[in-house]
Structure 1
Amino acid sequence: MAHAAPASPRMTVPGRRPDVFGPRVHLAVKVGLPLVLGLTYGYWAAAIRRDAGPITGWNVLFGFVTAFVFAVVFAAVCALAPLLPRELHALCWFVFAGGAAGFLYSQSGASVLSSSGLGLVVGAGVLVMVFYRYYTHEDAQGRRIG
């Protein structure tokens, strides 16, 4: 006859998922993710601005400054946005994603109007996606479910 296996105490808390990663992993992701994404974004912006020309010191400096600014703003949005209500939380990601996409597009020599338009389109897509996710994963008071 089959019997159910005893459940661990962490699994018996209703509405709560177990934390499978330790605090060191969370700290590594909290520090490493903005760093890796910032370096990738900075390299991408510098490569677009270089436009198949030679790599210069100013181009490398531009890439590192762009990477630093992106990483700092990304870390700030990741830290501060969850403290806001879902509408403002989604709005933070809209501004961040739209600004990042518009800035990258502007490095290709596109006009300010087309860069702003692309940033608005990308930001609007992120806004809809993020708002839907937060709306479906929070209760009426704004507390996260599960």
Structure 2
Amino acid sequence: MAQAAPTSGGMPRSSRTPDVFSAQAHARSRVAIPVVTGLIYGYWAAANRRSGGPITGWNLLFGFLTALVFAVVLFAVLTWAPRLRRELHAVVWTAFVGIAFGFLFSQSGDSILTSIAISLAVAAVAFILMFYRFYTHEDAAGNRIR
């Protein structure tokens, strides 16, 4: 039986994964991700609001306005939040997630107190996850650790 002998060369080991997309693809995705996510969020909010009833013009308008606001705010969070210190970065994402979830839940017709309680619980979990992520992936100055 033949067996391959070990070699001293081998493949170079890199700690970073290769970037397979071009700079143009990254620039497009910085706009496309908030737009697509906003459209999904707007559809979801409009569907919650109509509660399985017929789709009306006001429902479509509500969905598109919700999608527009969500996409703009998400684009702003993705653009400016990484420039903040890691604690504030986590707080910005916490506020975004909590408000977005609370708004979606409030469109279902439940009481406002239930909506507030559940969105605060979701925001607390989001804060724990985001703070842990930013604390383990950034130094104290806010620079990413590679």
Q: Tell me whether the two structures share a fold, i.e. TM-score over 0.5.
A: yes
Q: Could you say which residue in structure 1 is the equivalent of 2:79? A: 79
One-letter code aligned to 2:117 = G
Q: Deviations over 1:35-83 (max 9, x none)?
A: 1100000000001111111110000000000000000000100001000
Aligned CA-pair RMSD: 1.8
* Structure 2 unmatched ranges of 5 or more: none
Q: Please say if residues 97 and 123 of structure 2, whose CA atoms lie closer than 8 Å, have aligned partners that are also in contact.
A: yes
Q: Could you say which residue in structure 2 is the equivalent of 1:118? A: 118
Q: Are the structure 2 counterparts of residues 73 and 6 from structure 1 closer, same or farther at C-alpha, using a change threshold of 3 Å?
A: same
Q: Deviations over 1:105-136 (max 9, x none)?
A: 10011222111111111111111101000101
Does residue 138 (structure 1) correspond to residue 143 (structure 2)? The answer is no
Q: Could you say which residue in structure 2 is the equivalent of 1:55? A: 55
Q: Could you say which residue in structure 1 is the equivalent of 2:68? A: 68
One-letter code aligned to 2:33 = L
Q: State the shift of 1:139 in Å.
A: 2.1
Distance, in Å, in 2 between the alignment partners of 1:36 and 1:6 is 39
Q: Could you say which residue in structure 2 is the equivalent of 1:37? A: 37
Distance, in Å, in 2 between the alignment partners of 1:114 and 1:30 is 34
One-letter code aligned to 1:36 = V
Matched residue pairs, number?
Answer: 141
Distance, in Å, in 1 between the alignment partners of 2:61 and 2:140 is 47
Larger radius of gyration: 2
One-letter code aligned to 1:120 = L
* Structure 1 unmatched ranges of 5 or more: none
One-letter code aligned to 1:95 = A
